[in-house]
Amino acid sequence: MTGTEGSDWVSRTADEVIAEADRRAPGAPVVCASGLSPSGPIHLGNLRELMVPHLVADEIRRRGRECVHLLSWDDYDRLRRVPAGLPPSFADHVGRPLTAVPDPDGVHDSWAERFKAPVRAAMDALGIEVREISQTAMYASGTYADAILHALDERARIDSILARYRTRPGAGGSATTEEATDAGEAGDAVGPDSAARLYYPYRPYCHRCGRDTTQVTSYDAAGAWVDYACAACGHRDRVHLREDNHGKLVWKVDWPMRWAHERVTFEPFGADHSAPGSSYTVGAQVVREVFGGQPPVPLAYSFVGIRGMAKMSSSAGGVPTPADGLRILEPAVLRWLYARRLPGQAFTIDFGAEVSRLYDEWDRLAERIEAGQAQPWERDVADRATTTSRGRVAGPRRRVSFRVLASLLDVTAGDTAQVGRILTGFDDGAPGITVDDVEPRLSLARTWLAEQVPAEERTHVRTEPDTDLLASLSAEDAASLRELTTRLTDDWTLTGLTRLVYGVPKLRAGLTLDDPATAEVKRAQRGFFRLLYRLLVGADRGPRLPTLLLALGPDRVRALLAEGGPLQEAGTSGGENRLTEPG
């Protein structure tokens, strides 16, 4: 992402949205919108549909302008297929509205509510404030009755607009998924007149079987009557559209109708909706030519990829959700991932080895901001990650490296009391760090360690000295170990131990602890680090050595680095090279 002085993509988009809102209705509340279908887990890719308008709406509120962020739940959509993991008998619900499909676990009121509930909890944690709209409630209440009748009256005009983009036979192409869906949902004439295609941008839900496997066969504009036939159960019926509200407009008509109804000024969407002939392109013409409204300011966003979540998600199909992400990432860090990149930039969230690096990058940004070294756009992005117009997003009181916390949990086998004891030795300029000070990061690190680091890749601290290795040491290596153990408690803090571990090879080379390392000393440091890892954890790598020493304590370190009797057995736990660095 590139930033300009005093501005970033959120500020620039807010400028554009406010200007457009004032052009349409000066002084009126600005309306930003999101739309989600609760047909399955709302995953971290879908979160961009919420985060982009949230960040823009929140920026508008920060400027003192009234702004509403609408979240439209497309819960009146049909269930399209039997979800993974459910019995074939669930196919009986295919074609019914998501709000009419039961939750198979009986926990929630419907299939739709099953997936709304965790999103609401995640939005609360992330500081996303929305006004929810259920499309089931809107259609069933008759709120859209006038719009439905108007669309049916204007069906020829709508059909003409769609025809400008519809792939024609012999044109060398095939209908897009959207085109096929719209054509199928609209329905053709049934009966002797079927040779002459009659377009109806409305599909009823069958009164007998509850499915949308229906086709409108006629429309009486004067009386507001619609006749339909159901292909699934054979039921035929006539319904009065001012009294019967069991149906909905097809997608490419429904979306622009809602823009006009809600007076939406800004709504982002996936990049696939911005291609020629796609929903936004067609909708922009439909809203102008049919509903007399205006399309929202567009902003297409790109794909969000996920790595390292194989064990993490309990959702069907293993799709990671915002709730899953918040079990490893602090809310501010997750917000930052979406705020720092232009919406059109694709990115990947890695919940494996990259988590520690991500937290390191976040912490370094905070340090640069505190030191006055960050760019203006970086400060803006960090501010949006940590605060909203309503207040601060929850986070730890004290900043301790995620990498360090994961290492401490690794070495102590997750013993919170021991972690708390070790934390008191940290010297971040404000001694006395407690476990509560570093929550929720400590708990997030615990989850990451348990779910993302395989048991065989965790750190196993030796329970007794490696007498064979100790007996085979060169005189130089033995002297280096003596130097370390002699000075071990001179400064028993993370900073002091870091200085000592890197400094022992300097002392052996005739330098001081604080002299810069020469190329020869750097080679000696690497060899010294490998020796320490082999003696402490029986491997060539492990958690950062200063953290490892602090976790083990001086007595245990001295016992493992000098020939002696067996040590009392200690727990082992996690880390792999995800936690490791040389030294």
Average of per-residue pLDDT across 67-77? 98
d(CA 231, CA 212): 9
* Rg, the chain, Cα only: 31
Report pLDDT digits (tens) over 203-247.
999 999 999 999 999 999 999 999 999 999 999 999 999 999 999
63-74 as b/e: b if 16+ CB within 10 A = eebebbbbbbbb
pLDDT band, very low/low/confident/very high, at 524 (cuts 50, 70, 90)? very high
Q: Is the pLDDT of residue 101 over 80?
A: yes
Query: Does the bond joining 38 to the residue before it have cis omega, within 30 degrees of 0?
Result: no
Report pLDDT digits (tens) over 329-349.
999 999 999 999 999 999 999
Residue 311: predicted pLDDT: 41
Task: Collect all residues with Cβ–Cβ distance below 8 Å to 525 and sequence separation of at least 6.
Answer: 502, 505, 517, 583
Residue 7: predicted pLDDT: 52
Average of per-residue pLDDT across 162-182? 53
Residue 314: predicted pLDDT: 38
Give how far Cα 495 sits from Cα of 349, 434, 535, 551, 581, Å: 31, 18, 22, 14, 16
The larger pLDDT score, comparing residue 12 to residue 185, is at 12
Q: Angle between the 251-262 and 177-186 helix axes, to the nearest 10 degrees?
A: 90
Residue 543: predicted pLDDT: 86
Q: What angle do CA 310, 436, 428 make, to 5 degrees?
A: 95
Name the least confident of 62-66, 72-76, 550-554. Answer: 550-554
How many C-beta atoms lie closer than 10 Å to residue 261's C-beta? Answer: 15
What is the SS3 assignment for 156?
helix
Residue 576: predicted pLDDT: 38
The larger pLDDT score, comparing residue 78 to residue 319, is at 78
pLDDT band, very low/low/confident/very high, at 197 (cuts 50, 70, 90)? low
pLDDT band, very low/low/confident/very high, at 4 (cuts 50, 70, 90)? very low
Task: Collect all residues with Cβ–Cβ distance below 8 Å to 2 and sequence separation of at least 6.
Answer: none
- Averaged pLDDT score across all residues of the chain: 88
| Listed residue (178, 204, 68) closest to 133, CA to CA | 68
| Helices of type H across 512-553 | 519-537, 545-552
Name the least confident of 168-177, 406-415, 465-474. Answer: 168-177
The larger pLDDT score, comparing residue 570 to residue 285, is at 285
pLDDT band, very low/low/confident/very high, at 5 (cuts 50, 70, 90)? very low
Evaluate whether 322 touches 44 at the Cβ level (below 8 Å): yes
pLDDT band, very low/low/confident/very high, at 564 (cuts 50, 70, 90)? very low
Name the least confident of 7-11, 64-68, 151-155, 349-353. Answer: 7-11
pLDDT band, very low/low/confident/very high, at 566 (cuts 50, 70, 90)? very low
Report pLDDT digits (tens) over 287-306.
999 999 999 999 999 999 98
Report pLDDT digits (tens) over 355-405.
999 999 999 999 999 999 999 999 999 999 999 999 999 999 999 999 989
Beta bridge partners of 214: 230
Q: Is the pLDDT of residue 187 over 50?
A: no
| Listed residue (395, 408, 387) closest to 439, CA to CA | 395
The larger pLDDT score, comparing residue 551 to residue 181, is at 551
pTM, full prediction: 0.86
Residue 579: predicted pLDDT: 54
Tokens of 198: 């009659």
Q: What percent of the chain has pLDDT over 70?
A: 87
Beta bridge partners of 304: 347
Q: Is the pLDDT of residue 111 over 90?
A: yes
Residue 429: predicted pLDDT: 56
Residue 271: predicted pLDDT: 87
Residue 179: predicted pLDDT: 41
Average of per-residue pLDDT across 519-531? 96
Residue 413: predicted pLDDT: 87
What is the SS3 assignment for 56?
helix
Residue 575: predicted pLDDT: 36
| Listed residue (427, 433, 557) closest to 501, CA to CA | 557
The pairing of beta strand 225-230 with beta strand 236-240: antiparallel
Residue 142: predicted pLDDT: 96
d(CA 256, CA 550): 61
